[in-house]
Chains A and B, each alone.
Chain A
């Protein structure tokens, strides 16, 4: 009998050449090889992708919600960080 779940993996799929990999879902698998096959069958069976990444969910370190105030709020009033205060030369304008 299977006790508990197999390790959780996050799946990233690149839809077309030239695009970046996007998180598409997750699955359970005992190792990377099995995760890759399951990802192929679960997430690309309708031609959704040309490349797959699988990553052990426990290897992803995510920012924590309780840190949001110190992490993200300070950027709110720093509009000068956007390169919008430069005069773009005529020749470069599209």
Chain B
């Protein structure tokens, strides 16, 4: 097994799964009925993507684990998602700001992964890029609406961006896993993604009459299994059925 290849795909899968799980928390609680349905749709896109990626990660690992084993019986220290994905949903401004930052990241990432030397990853990216293009269109729309909306919505969107800004550097870190993936033409260079991402985000923030937050400090660790206190609570809810009734199926 190529451990770095496995971890690269696992990280992609974990980001999709944990963000998707957060999004499902709005089901039945969204501010508008139409938003409730739209958010659930997009959440399921993420969970579907997580299934493809975690199945593939399990295959790369080659130890007989399944996508369900990876999703439901790993502990928080074994998850390698970005901290940004696991932060609590907050208000709708926080949720949509996070979606936008991550949708834009995924948009550029999957655009590059389409031409990955890993054919399976390329196929997954080809499916995901269509979904992500819509997700980004939708979340950008909300950043603009709330940023350039009422005094209260503007304030909330600005506070949301400030609150998550220090978690964004983690998206573009480069460790030995990334170095090997770049060398094998499996994945793009995070530095390149960063410049594409930053240009898009800055343009949208400006258009939304918001200001780009100042980076005062930076938090990371998710990709090495060091998570925020929110992660354990998320997993306890997501995993409780499989933990209580191991192997249970529909």
Contacts and interface: CB of A to CB of B under 8 A. Distances in A.
Interface in A37-75: 37-38, 40-42, 45
Interface string A1-38: 01000100000000000000000000111100110011
B141 A29 contact: no
B115 interface: no
Q: Kindly state the interface size class of chain B when it binds its partner.
A: 10 to 19
B34 A38 contact: yes
B133 to A, nearest CB: 13
A34 to B, nearest CB: 7
Interface in B128-150: 134, 137-138, 141, 145
B32 interface: yes
Given A27-B34, A28-B32, A34 B41 contact: no
Using C-beta atoms within 8 Å of the partner chain, give the interface range for chain A: 10 to 19
Given A27-B34, A28-B34, A37 B138 contact: yes
B60 to A, nearest CB: 32
Nearest to A29: B34
A41 B38 contact: yes
18 contacts: A2-B32, A6-B32, A27-B33, A28-B33, A28-B34, A29-B34, A33-B141, A34-B141, A37-B137, A37-B141, A38-B34, A38-B37, A41-B34, A41-B37, A41-B38, A42-B34, A42-B37, A42-B38
Interface of A: 2, 6, 27-30, 33-34, 37-38, 40-42, 45
B31 interface: yes
A30 B32 CA distance: 12
A38 B31 contact: no
Contacts of A42: 34, 37-38
Contacts of A38: 34-35, 37-38
Given A27-B34, A28-B34, A42-B34, 20 more contacts: A2-B31, A27-B33, A29-B34, A30-B145, A33-B141, A34-B141, A34-B145, A37-B38, A37-B137, A37-B138, A37-B141, A38-B35, A38-B37, A40-B134, A41-B34, A41-B37, A41-B38, A41-B41, A42-B37, A45-B41
